[in-house]
Amino acid sequence: MVNPMNPGRIYLSPPHMSGEEVELVCETFASNWIAPLGPNVDAFEQEFAARVGARHAAALSSGTAALHLALRWLNLQPGDEVICSTLTFSASVNPVLYERATPVFVDSDVCSWNMDPAVLAEAIEAGIQRGKKPKAVILVHLYGQSADIDPIAATCRRHEIPLVEDAAEALGTEYYGSGGQGAGDREPETGDRRRARRGIAPGSLGLCGVHSFNGNKIITTSGGGMLVSDDLKLIEKARFWATQARDAAPHYQHSEVGFNYRLSNVLAAIGRGQLRVLDQRVEARRRNFEYYQKALGDLPGLVFMPEARYGRCTRWLTCLTIDPKIAGLDREKVRLALAEENIESRPVWKPMHLQPLFKDCRYHGGEVASRVFADGLCLPSGSNLSAADLDRVAGAVRRVYSDR
């Protein structure tokens, strides 16, 4: 029984196990495959690749490791430039620094909060003018929403620049294509009809895609990642580097730098169980969003992250902005009031071009990402939130408004 004077903490995005995971983990223990390889790793790779529509997948210790190996494949040289979305988590960009390359940041568009295709094209042209053609583009799909991949991929193809997709926050997301039917044009669909019409999974259109199973993602293995690609050579090389780059010899022989980046067979068992309930997790997170939209949509100055017409967002996190001029209060006030009530919420990611770490990097664009950061808040969004939890969060937000 929850003590109403001291209600439990509501987390931003906690893990949500289905029960199947523990059975798979028990089988793993019984077989004594407690290793960074084994049958669950192989099966998880196959099942995951099938789910996102990629030919091949390598299960790794984190999404960051997956991105690092993707960049390694591109053989970046010190000082090479890599274009990155500015509005993201630092893990999207840190591997650029691991490889001693230089990030160049691109602003978001207003309809998806993801990389603006027009600004990307400008940034590439400007790089070419300076004699520095970018060596790669890292495209992030933020908060469960696909970026507009078609025009971005077309620009990359035209300039022959490899496109790496960071889909760490976008597993279960669908992309219909910019020219395609927008979600806004249709009635929401459920069940088998939806499954039959599934769009493309972000992360499977570029050269390769990165996924994460960190504890706060839509499905989790407590920690883990996946690199997916249609290029078998890329994936085989990633597996090779991820297991200490051991040459084919009975003794331990090495011709290249290796890493210890493979996913444990135990964690892969958790991942297989989680993947089976991905659709349910997506629907639960979208229901959270719909609840918040009904409960809070009338509050002045409060606007939810838009859902771009070309895709179907998972609403991994329910994000919103609060315009202080209209609302008469700012998002920090709301965040701190929620914290007082033992409710975790978080500002939208601080753009990379505003980070001390990247203060000397080039930036293309305007104020879209910085405004979203200034006013943006992520509400508790776990797929295991109860109706009472949702009421508590919405009630707390409404109270801040009525007390202002």
State which H helix or E strand residue 65 sits in.
helix 63-73
| Interface with ligand PLP: number of residues (CB under 6 A) | 14
Residue 383 found at the interface with ligand PLP (CB under 6 A): no
Helix 63-73 with 232-242: angle, nearest 10 deg:
120
* Residue from 168, 263, 334, 378 binding ligand PLP (CB under 6 A): 168
Name the residue nearer to ligand PLP (CB basis): 217 or 335.
217
- Of 212, 274, 318, 321, the one binding ligand PLP (CB under 6 A) is 212
Site membership for ligand PLP, residue 225 (CB under 6 A):
yes
Residue 70's SS3 state is helix
- DSSP secondary structure letters along 120-163: HHHHHHHHHHTT---SEEEEE-GGG----HHHHHHHHHHHT--E
Regarding 62 and contact with ligand PLP (CB under 6 A), the answer is yes
Answer yes or no whether residue 214 interacts with ligand PLP by CB under 6 A: yes
Contact flag: residue 166 with ligand PLP (CB under 6 A): yes
- Sole window of 165-173, 265-273, 305-313, 371-379 interacting with ligand PLP (rule: CB under 6 A): 165-173
> What's the closest the beta carbon of residue 373 comes to ligand PLP, in angstroms?
15
Q: Is 85 in the site for ligand PLP (CB under 6 A)?
A: no
Candidates 60-68, 96-104, 189-197, 272-280: pick the segment binding ligand PLP (CB under 6 A): 60-68
Residue in 239, 253, 202 with CA at minimum distance from that of residue 73 = 239
In the bound complex, which residue of the shown chain has the CB atom lying closest to ligand PLP? 63
Pairing relationship of beta strands 102-106 and 363-364 according to DSSP bridges: parallel
- Residues 263 and 65: their CA atoms lie apart, in Å, by 10
Of the candidate residues 80, 99, 150, 169, the single one contacting ligand PLP (CB under 6 A): 169
Q: What are phi and psi of 231, to 5 degrees?
A: -95, 105
Residue 319 or 397 having the CB closest to ligand PLP: 319
Cα 101 to Cα 71: distance, rounded to the nearest angstrom: 10
Ranges of beta strands (E only) in 253-357 are 302-304, 311-312, 318-322, 346-347
Q: Is 221 in the site for ligand PLP (CB under 6 A)?
A: no
Residue written as token pair 């600004």: 119
The verdict on 11 binding ligand PLP (CB under 6 A) reads: no
The number of beta carbons lying within 10 Å of the beta carbon of residue 347 is 16
- Whole-angstrom CA distances from 357 to 55, 137, 347, 353 are 36, 19, 19, 9
Q: Among 13, 40, 64, 381, which residue interacts with ligand PLP (rule: CB under 6 A)?
A: 64
Pair of tokens at residue 164: 């790496």
Among 13, 40, 86, 92, binds ligand PLP (CB under 6 A): 92
H helix runs in 74-111, sequence order: 94-98
Residue 89 lies near ligand PLP (rule: CB under 6 A): yes
Q: Which of these segments, 6-14, 125-133, 163-171, 281-289, binds ligand PLP (CB under 6 A)?
A: 163-171
- 282 scored as a contact of ligand PLP (CB under 6 A): no
Stretch in the footprint of ligand PLP (CB under 6 A) among 62-70, 131-139, 185-193, 368-376? 62-70
Cβ nearer to ligand PLP, comparing 88 with 264:
88
User: CA 194 to CA 370: how far, in whole Å?
Assistant: 35
Bridge partners (DSSP) of residue 163 are: 137
Per-residue contact flags (x/-) with ligand PLP for residues 116 to 155, judged by CB under 6 A: ------------------------x---------------
Q: Which one, of 134, 135, 136, 139, lies nearest residue 150 by Cα?
A: 139
Binding residues vs ligand PLP (CB under 6 A): 62-64, 88-89, 91-92, 140, 166, 168-169, 212, 214, 225
